[in-house]
A and B are shown apart, each in its own frame.
Chain A
């Protein structure tokens, strides 16, 4: 009549943990899983020759695609959004961006993106990205340069 021998069940915690992590992976990878939207707001200009250290991981790509001499990240925004949920991001220059994950198939996420300047719609687009993928939206004038938005979704 002693306490039961726990040895046969010693692997239970490990199995439970692995099962949980697998389950979590499935949930995260499923098309309807929440989408973490990450937006880097970069001011690109020809004022100086700055490469913001926060942009070092993609600095080479920026310099090879654009002809600006200075890249400075002025804001970094992020929201985790469910499918159908709209997140609003404030941008410099009285601008705003609305992002809504929309239903998708497979491993891609689809984002409906709208950029407004006051009441004016300056861009409406629907993007399909792989989770972890990135797209750039640039051009709106700001100060003595232009804004480049680094949009990624996980």
Chain B
């Protein structure tokens, strides 16, 4: 009868024993009982087997879903980072293209590469200062035909023109 009580008590404690949740003294009592009682030892072995199966199954499920979980975590982190940004960062990001586009347009107009199809000449001034003028091989003349006409530097190549 005492042995029956001992088995009943022992089986109630086997799972806690496996999980390491028993106080040292009770753990010693259960270990001693399992060493002496074949049926309880078999029960313990069964429970340990079930626990191992459950662990393997859980690990397998996590492995299957690892990619999805990783992607979900990445999205959560990105959302957290986004919410941490100051509100004006969103505004700057949204409107930054306006000055950027203006910059591209201005520089495009100002520094458009030259080619033979450019706009006709439309000078806004014929005011030209000739600070110095010389030639090693020709005679040069500065011609000014009056307001409204461009100034001309005329090269008279000796013996040619």
Asked whether, in the complex, the Cβ of B161 is within 8 Å of the Cβ of A132, the reply is no
Asked whether, in the complex, the Cβ of A57 is within 8 Å of the Cβ of B121, the reply is yes
CA distance A136 to B153 in the complex (A): 6
Asked whether, in the complex, the Cβ of B129 is within 8 Å of the Cβ of A127, the reply is yes
A14 to chain B, nearest CB (A): 8
Asked whether, in the complex, the Cβ of A17 is within 8 Å of the Cβ of B135, the reply is no
Q: Binary interface profile of A, 15-49, with partner B (CB < 8 Å = 1, else 0)?
A: 01100110010001000001010101000000000
Cβ of A84 < 8 Å from any Cβ of B?
no
- Taking a contact as CB atoms closer than 8 A, the residue among A6, A121, A134 that contacts B123 in the complex is A134
Could you say which residues of chain B place their CB within 8 Å of the CB of A122? 135-138, 155, 157
- Taking a contact as CB atoms closer than 8 A, the residue among A24, A56, A124 that contacts B120 in the complex is A56
Asked whether, in the complex, the Cβ of A58 is within 8 Å of the Cβ of B123, the reply is yes
- Taking a contact as CB atoms closer than 8 A, the residue among A36, A56, A115, A139 that contacts B111 in the complex is A36
Cβ of B39 < 8 Å from any Cβ of A?
no
Asked whether, in the complex, the Cβ of B131 is within 8 Å of the Cβ of A126, the reply is yes
Contacts A24-B106, A124-B134, A139-B156 given: A130-B124 contact, CB under 8 Å? yes
Asked whether, in the complex, the Cβ of B154 is within 8 Å of the Cβ of A20, the reply is no
Could you say which residues of chain A place their CB within 8 Å of the CB of B131? 110, 125-128
Taking residues whose C-beta sits less than 8 angstroms from the other chain, chain A's interface range is 35 or more
Interface size on B, residues (CB 8 A): 52
Cβ of A96 < 8 Å from any Cβ of B?
no
Asked whether, in the complex, the Cβ of A130 is within 8 Å of the Cβ of B152, the reply is no
A82 to chain B, nearest CB (A): 11
Asked whether, in the complex, the Cβ of A80 is within 8 Å of the Cβ of B111, the reply is yes
Asked whether, in the complex, the Cβ of A141 is within 8 Å of the Cβ of B157, the reply is yes
In chain B, residues 103-143, which have Cβ atoms closer than 8 Å to a Cβ of chain A? Answer: 103, 106-107, 110-111, 113-116, 118, 120-138, 140, 143
Cβ of B11 < 8 Å from any Cβ of A?
no
Could you say which residues of chain B place their CB within 8 Å of the CB of A24? 103, 106-107, 110
User: 15 A-B pairs, CB-CB below 8 angstroms?
Assistant: A14-B98, A20-B102, A20-B106, A38-B121, A61-B149, A75-B116, A121-B136, A122-B137, A126-B133, A128-B129, A128-B131, A135-B150, A136-B151, A150-B121, A152-B121
- Which B residues have a C-beta under 8 Å from some C-beta of A? 87-88, 90-91, 95, 98-99, 102-103, 106-107, 110-111, 113-116, 118, 120-138, 140, 143, 145, 148-157, 160-161
